[in-house]
Amino acid sequence: MSDPHGHRSRVLAGVVLVGLLITCSVWAGATVGDLTESAYSDQADVRSEPAAYVGDQVVLGGIVVAADPVVIATRASGYGRFTLEDADARLKTGNAPLERGDRVTAFGTLTTESTLAVERALTRDPAETRYMLVVSALGGLWVVGRFVRHWRVDRTTLAFVPRERSRGGRPDDDGPERRGARALEGRADHSATTDGPRTGTHRDQRKRTKGGGEPRA
């Protein structure tokens, strides 16, 4: 007899581990490369009141909208623009200069309300992001398909249990009640098929006993 509490504990542990994996993946992909930089103000803080951050070290991320000089828009609509001084010289990923459409994250000192003296800049090729998303999606679909194929929900115990395989190799989704009913039906059918010939044999034997020989046709 399986323990439903054990199944529930394993399922809960699996959900927690998957959630931690997804959280760590997203967090690692969003970081600017140095964990200590997360303590600095970012574009969301600076946009609201840029004058208050002049002279402070901040982290600004956005999409390049101009290349000479490098200007980024911290909003998807194209607003919240900042000029990045020495961005190409301080770029740590890739040797090519920044171009329009590149996504960049820059760390440095805000010298004016719209200018950042860059000390470190990071960029990522959009193809790398697409590759990561596609591979992650395919891997997730494969795992879900394997799980659905080999496991099912037992409504009586509210737990995931392995699917049983029928003789044809297909999953048997019937519950224990249905399988018990099929077993009883099979025994009843077996009794019905064996009782008929046995009764006919007894009748022939009685005829031989009364007639003293083989029954006539």
**Domain spans of the chain?**
4-30+128-154, 35-123, 174-217
pLDDT digits (tens, 9 = 90+) for 115-171: 999 999 988 766 777 788 888 889 889 988 888 888 888 888 888 888 876 555 555
pLDDT digits (tens, 9 = 90+) for 30-59: 554 554 445 889 999 999 899 999 999 999
Q: How much is the pTM?
A: 0.48
pLDDT digits (tens, 9 = 90+) for 73-116: 999 888 999 999 999 888 887 667 888 888 899 999 999 999 99
Beta-ladder partners of 41 = 58
CB 76 within 8 A of CB 60: no
- Could you say which DSSP state residue 75 is in? S
Q: Please give the CATH topology (third level) of the domain spanning 35-123.
A: OB fold (Dihydrolipoamide Acetyltransferase, E2P) (2.40.50)
216 pLDDT higher than 70: no
For tokens 């891997």, the residue is 139
Q: Which two tokens stand for residue 52?
A: 């208050």
Supply φ then ψ for residue 105, to 5 degrees. Answer: -125, 125
